[in-house]
Amino acid sequence: MRMPTELHLHLEGTLEPEMTFRLAEQNRLDLPWRDPDELRARFDFTDLQSFLDLYTMSQEVLRTGEDFHALTDAYLARAAAAGVRHAEVSLDLQAHTGRGVRAAEVLDGVTSALQAAPGRHGLSAGLIVTVLRHLPGEAALATVREVVESGYPVLGLGLCSTELTAHARDFVEAFDLARAHGLHLTAHAGEEGPPQNVTGVLDHLRVERVDHGVRACGDPALVARLVAQRIPLTVCPVSNLRLRVVDALHEHPLRRMLDSGVMVTLNSDDPAYFGGYLDEVTDRTAEALDLGEEHLSTLARNGIDAAWVEESRRRELH
User: Active-site positions?
Assistant: 191
- Per-residue CA distances from 262 to 11, 20, 83, 293 (Å): 26, 38, 24, 18
Binding residues are: 8, 10, 188, 269-270
Binding partner selected for residue 13 from ligand ES4, Zn ion, none, CB under the kind-specific 5 to 8 Å limit:
ligand ES4
Check binding of 170 to ligand ES4 (CB under 6 A): no
Name 258's Cβ contacts closer than 8 Å, sequence gap at least 6.
264, 295, 298, 299
> Using N-to-C axis directions, what is the helix angle for 220-228 and 195-204, rounded to 10°?
40
State the binding string over 3-42 for ligand ES4 (x if CB under 6 A, else -).
-------x--x-----------------------------
Q: Which does 191 bind (CB under 5 to 8 A by kind): ligand ES4, Zn ion, none?
A: ligand ES4
Nearest position to Zn ion, beta carbon: 269
Which of 85, 134, 121, 126 is CA-nearest to residue 279?
85
Query: Using CB under 5 A, which of the segments 68-76, 240-248, 268-276, 296-304 binds Zn ion?
Result: 268-276
Q: CA 271, 277, 94 angle in degrees (round to 5)?
A: 35
Residues 184-213 that bind ligand ES4 (CB under 6 A): 188, 191
Q: Which is nearer to ligand ES4, 85 or 175 (CB)?
A: 175
CA distances in angstroms from 306 to 183, 215, 314, listed in the order given: 15, 20, 10
Provide the residue type at 41 as one letter: A
Which one among 6, 16, 108, 269 touches ligand ES4, defined by CB under 6 A?
A: 269
The angle at the Cα of 174, spanning 214 to 191, to the nearest 5 degrees, equals 15
Minimum CB–partner distance for residue 62 and Zn ion (Å):
18
Q: Is 192 in the site for Zn ion (CB under 5 A)?
A: no
Does 128 sit near ligand ES4 (CB under 6 A)? no
> Which residues are near ligand ES4 by CB under 6 A?
10, 13, 48, 160-161, 188, 191, 239, 243, 269-270
